[in-house]
């Protein structure tokens, strides 16, 4: 019997030159079996690579069945040598097997940590699902080879000797040369790790198995770093002894998932990736000289972004790139020369425009596709069904979407995106709308699909088989594990936005229990705004608000009672945090107790129903549902709480009263609501700025009073005069202490307000209208008369020139 031949094709992951060389070698050598470095669990689904719906970049995703968070990816682009070998085997109906260590061993606790060595010895073959970088060997084989060849840039050296070279007459010769170079490094023990030795032992076992199966011409596509170890075949007993120390293999599921060029780049954490996947894709798919076509694409991109780029720019850029390659001694213009030409010619030196080219063309946002026949958890299939029915196609490029919640399709899209966020799949994140509208029926999202979402969906599958069921169960589980009241009220708001009526009763029960036991006013104040937002604006989704109204009213009443004493004795940091909560609660109670007819935005509510067209809820109707007959009384009780807070002055020291920041803020809120007139506000300011009060407390009071706008200082000159008088009377030493507070206060005012205040202070005495300045010197009538014709022409009237001026003209 003829001894089986084995061709070891040592490659670099995601290298277009290696991919072309593999294609040429397989066509020349014509193997009857193809073995590829990769997880053997994928043998059952490798045939899907031949489906027409399989569009790279794609990745094999393996995860532990009992713990989907333990996962790893094996990505492949169109220019990946492994992908070329897979496609060749599938198209020629050849047996194809993966021969690396099973992924299940990588998910088990190992006695010795270490990442999988890369194909070229520098990086890992599989990527951790959380994006953490793999542990690299001590030395980079490519860097050592480049250094030996007299090059300081390993990437540039590899491009020159491999990626930019076309296959010659003997397609196997380049692989023999690379194997010899790697053998010299391995002979010195450089770059090896315990993990590499285990993987190579398993690969040798799989090669022996292929021989026993009767294959005579076996092609092995693996990382070039592993080739020397596969050429020398030790005894079977040797390899079995090495593999005997492996931990127990974890039960694993595997499937194909879409991938992106951006995720292939090294900048996103995948160690075996490349910095320029978009450029490498262009090199692999372009026949002939790739530089002119790539520069043409760059010109098209820049023109689309309103940069003036012509055909002459492209011609000159091609010439410059080729000239730079000659000057630098390179066989062809590489990415470095091409980008230098783009910067100098197409971008005219602009780094901003060059960064656009790097982002869109050098890296790119290509997103692959996988066929429906690929294995998937039921939750993933339900999500795919919703994406198709709602016409929301996953895309790796960020896309802004505005939703009108009055439309059923847009409302369903909103519910889907909110449910996915609850499950940890942030496909869409809320964004600022590009449409100017104050209506509450509008939502804006930024959509961007990431390959990692496949893992998060697998993790979320434990909660249910559909998106809605999983979101409901996740919400209930989150509520039961919640430790703070604000977290629960935020969850209630999320449930309303996501339309999870099945989760609300359980979440509300937990919320009621937590609210009854929580006596911290800060926690209550942090929880109320989310409840009121859900109560006020959630009705566009058709939810029942009776329980919400009762919970919100109960929290508001407890805050009104407990707020003033809770503010006593706070330090500067605590006072600042409480001021933010004070503003939020004030706005929430204002919404809760407001007249619906006076607060609807865009349009008037329908008199025949509880809801206006913009989705706001008629709160009088909600009051009836919750048994709240006196919402206006809540506003009165809140105002009383603010008055009580404003009166809590530190008579016996800072620990005996509320900080000036909070007292001043309470006065300002009362003034803005019309529950305090300007006379009383001025009196309180005068008392605070008196010599009896500490300057630091007075500065804090002023900061709280002016937060949110300083226009009142312009409308009431007496307040500005009081502030100016106090500030000029402060001693130099004290002024240095209060200066940071004052600077922060006035920095928060509008620029126009600051300018006008400065002008008022510079104009003279405050407290009375600015006096009209006397004119210095007499009027120069000759100069004034010269402007009369021009002014008359602008006004369209006939000029009347004084007689004296006319006489001078004659």
Between these two residues, 203 and 437, which has the higher pLDDT value? 203
Quickly state the pLDDT bin for 184 (edges 50, 70, 90).
Answer: confident
% pLDDT > 90, the chain: 33
pLDDT in tens, 598-632: 333 333 333 333 344 344 444 444 444 344 445 55
- Taking alpha carbons only, the member of 305, 276, 303 closest to residue 290 is 276
Torsion of CA 152, 156, 159, 162, to 10 degrees: -10
Answer whether residue 115 shows pLDDT above 60. no
DSSP string covering 471-485: HHHHHHHHHHH--SH
Query: Which pLDDT does position 727 carry in this prediction?
Result: 76
Query: Which pLDDT does position 111 carry in this prediction?
Result: 55
% pLDDT > 70, the chain: 82
Which letter, b or e, does each residue of 567-587 get, where b requires 16 or more Cβ atoms within 10 Å of its Cβ?
bbbbeeeebbebbebbebbbe
How are strands ordered across the β-sheet holding 252-258? 127-128, 71-76, 58-64, 252-258
pLDDT in tens, 462-501: 899 899 999 999 999 999 888 788 888 888 888 888 888 8
When the pLDDT of each residue in the chain is averaged and rounded to a whole number, the result is: 80
- Taking alpha carbons only, the member of 439, 458, 512 closest to residue 482 is 512
How many helices and strands (H and E) does the chain possess?
36, 11
Give the strand pairing for 96-98 and 33-36. Answer: parallel
Please give the C-alpha separations between residue 128 and each of 14, 61, 70, 475, in angstroms, as whole numbers.
Answer: 18, 10, 8, 28
Q: Is the pTM of this model over 0.85?
A: no
Task: Give the single-character DSSP code of 793.
Answer: H
Centroid of chain to Cα 341: 32
Distance CA 551, CA 474 (A): 22
Top-confidence range, 247-256, 545-554, 737-746 = 247-256
């Amino acid at each position: 019997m003829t001894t089986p031949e084995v061709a070891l094709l040592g490659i670099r992951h995601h290298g277009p030159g290696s991919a072309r060389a593999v294609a040429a070698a397989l066509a020349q050598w014509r193997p009857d079996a193809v073995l590829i470095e990769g997880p053997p669990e994928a043998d059952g689904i490798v045939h899907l690579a031949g489906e027409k719906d399989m569009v790279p970049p794609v990745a094999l995703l393996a995860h532990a069945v009992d713990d989907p968070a333990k996962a790893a990816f094996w990505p492949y682009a169109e220019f990946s040598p492994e992908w070329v070998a897979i496609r060749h085997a599938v198209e020629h109906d050849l047996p194809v097997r993966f021969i690396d260590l099973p992924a299940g061993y990588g998910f088990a606790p190992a006695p010795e940590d270490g990442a999988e060595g890369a194909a070229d010895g520098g990086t890992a073959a599989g990527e951790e699902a959380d994006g953490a970088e793999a542990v690299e060997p001590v030395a980079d084989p490519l860097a050592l080879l480049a250094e030996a060849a007299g090059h300081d840039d390993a990437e540039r050296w590899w491009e020159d000797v491999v990626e930019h070279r076309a296959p010659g007459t003997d397609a196997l010769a380049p692989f023999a040369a690379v194997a010899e170079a790697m053998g010299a490094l391995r002979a010195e023990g450089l770059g090896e790790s315990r993990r590499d030795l285990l993987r190579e032992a398993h690969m040798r076992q799989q090669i022996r198995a292929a021989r026993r199966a009767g294959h005579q011409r076996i092609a092995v596509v693996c990382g070039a770093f592993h080739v020397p170890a596969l050429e020398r075949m030790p005894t079977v007993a040797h390899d079995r002894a090495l593999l005997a120390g492996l931990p127990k293999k974890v039960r694993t599921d595997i499937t194909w998932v879409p991938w992106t060029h951006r995720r292939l780049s090294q900048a996103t954490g995948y160690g075996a990736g490349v910095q320029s996947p978009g450029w490498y894709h262009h090199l692999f798919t372009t026949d002939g000289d790739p530089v002119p076509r790539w520069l043409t694409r760059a010109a098209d991109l820049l023109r689309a972004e309103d940069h003036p780029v012509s055909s002459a720019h492209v011609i000159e850029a091609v010439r410059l790139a080729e000239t730079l390659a000659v000057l630098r001694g390179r066989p062809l213009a590489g990415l470095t020369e091409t980008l230098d030409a783009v910067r100098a010619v197409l971008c005219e030196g602009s780094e901003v425009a060059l960064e656009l080219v790097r982002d869109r063309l050098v890296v790119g946002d290509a997103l692959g596709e996988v066929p429906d026949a690929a294995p998937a958890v039921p939750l993933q299939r339900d999500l795919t069904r919703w994406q198709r029915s709602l016409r929301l196609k996953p895309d790796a490029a960020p896309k802004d979407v505005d939703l009108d919640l009055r439309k059923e399709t847009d409302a369903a899209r909103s519910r889907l995106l909110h449910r996915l966020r609850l499950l940890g799949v942030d496909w869409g994140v809320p964004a600022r709308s590009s449409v100017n509208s104050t209506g509450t029926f509008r939502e804006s999202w930024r959509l961007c699909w990431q390959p990692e979402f496949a893992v998060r969906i697998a993790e979320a599958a434990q909660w249910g088989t559909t998106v809605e069921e999983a979101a409901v169960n996740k919400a209930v589980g989150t509520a039961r594990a919640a430790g703070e009241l604000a977290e629960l009220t935020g969850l209630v708001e999320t449930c309303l936005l996501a339309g999870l009526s099945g989760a609300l009763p359980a979440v509300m029960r937990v919320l009621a229990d937590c609210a009854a036991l929580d006596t911290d006013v800060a926690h209550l104040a942090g929880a109320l705004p989310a409840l009121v937002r859900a109560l006020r604006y959630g009705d566009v989704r058709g939810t029942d608000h009776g329980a919400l109204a009762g919970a919100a009213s109960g929290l508001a009443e407890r805050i009104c009672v407990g707020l003033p004493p809770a503010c006593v004795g706070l330090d500067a940091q605590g006072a600042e945090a409480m001021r933010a909560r004070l503003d939020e609660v004030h706005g929430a109670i204002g919404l809760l107790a407001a007249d619906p007819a006076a607060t609807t935005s865009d349009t008037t509510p329908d008199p025949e129903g509880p809801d206006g067209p913009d989705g706001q809820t008629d709160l009088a109707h909600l009051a009836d549902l919750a048994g709240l007959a006196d919402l206006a009384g809540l506003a009165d009780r809140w105002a009383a709480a603010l008055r009580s807070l404003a009166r809590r002055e530190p008579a016996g020291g800072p620990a005996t009263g509320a900080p000036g920041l909070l007292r001043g803020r309470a006065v300002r809120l009362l003034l803005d609501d019309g529950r305090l007139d300007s006379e009383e506000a001025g009196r309180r300011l005068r008392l605070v700025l008196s010599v009896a009060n500490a300057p630091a407390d007075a500065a804090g009071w002023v900061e709280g009073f002016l937060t949110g706008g300083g226009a009142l200082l312009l409308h009431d000159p007496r307040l500005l005069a009081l502030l100016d008088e106090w500030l000029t009377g402060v001693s130099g030493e004290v002024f240095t202490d209060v200066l940071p507070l004052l600077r922060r206060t006035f920095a928060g005012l509008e620029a126009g307000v600051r300018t006008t205040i400065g002008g008022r202070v510079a104009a003279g005495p405050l407290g009375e209208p600015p006096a009209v300045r006397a004119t210095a010197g007499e009027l120069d009538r000759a100069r004034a008369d010269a402007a009369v014709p021009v002014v008359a022409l602008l006004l369209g009237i006939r000029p009347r020139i004084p007689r004296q001026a006319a006489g001078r003209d004659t």
